[in-house]
Structure 1
Amino acid sequence: MAEDGGNPFFSCRSCKNPLALHEDLLSKKYWANSGAAYMFSHAMNVIVGQNEDRELITGVFSVADIYCSNCGQV
């Protein structure tokens, strides 16, 4: 997690583009087959993928992958 002017935020692993403020994090208690899945109330600098029902370890949820608007990484 990075910090800009005292506001911690989540950033893209590849290019460090800011994606979501820490205050917009709702939960880190979700797990997908690929690992941790976070829920945010708001994100920025992202392209939102198609909504789909996906079975996570904690149940079936309607989710969408997000991609960095700068480099396109998930």
Structure 2
Amino acid sequence: MGMKYRRYLAGERVYGCATCRTHLATIHSMISRAFNGQHGRAYLFDGVVNIVEGEPNDRQMTTGKHTVRDIYCVKCGATLGWKYDRAYEGSQKYKEGKFILERNLLVDVQ
């Protein structure tokens, strides 16, 4: 197995993995800062790069039942947050296909 290809992002603010600084998302793909993760504050993003997705599983969260996948850094394997596959509540459907990145697991790389 060879090295994994990683994308590098450009822009006024780039978020990266706190462990290895691999680029993950830009400020322009952020939808909301009003989320909570397992380790504190979290951000909702429309698109994230350089991740590996885990297996889907159902979780009961504060906003209802969701099918989610944990996401990991493609370089170091650190847990970063999760991806919403399905929301069972109608008011939460906007989260489907979106990503949660936990603030404590991120760094500004630019």
**TM-score, with length taken from structure 2:** 0.53
RMSD of aligned alpha carbons: 2.1
Contact kept, 8 Å, 2:11 with 2:26, in 1: the verdict is no
Q: Please say if 1:59 is aligned against 2:26.
A: no
Contact kept, 8 Å, 2:51 with 2:73, in 1: the verdict is yes
Identity percentage of aligned residues: 32
Residue 72 of structure 1 is matched in structure 2 by: 77
| Deviation (angstroms), 1:42 | 0.7
Give 2:69's aligned amino acid: A
Gaps of 5+ in 1: none
Give the count of matched residue pairs.
Answer: 71
**Which has the larger strand fraction?**
1
Which of 50, 54, 58 pairs up with 1:49? Answer: 54
Aligned mates of 1:45, 1:60 — CA distance in 2: 27
**TM-score, with length taken from structure 1:** 0.72
| Deviation (angstroms), 1:31 | 2.0
Gaps of 5+ in 2: 1-8, 80-110
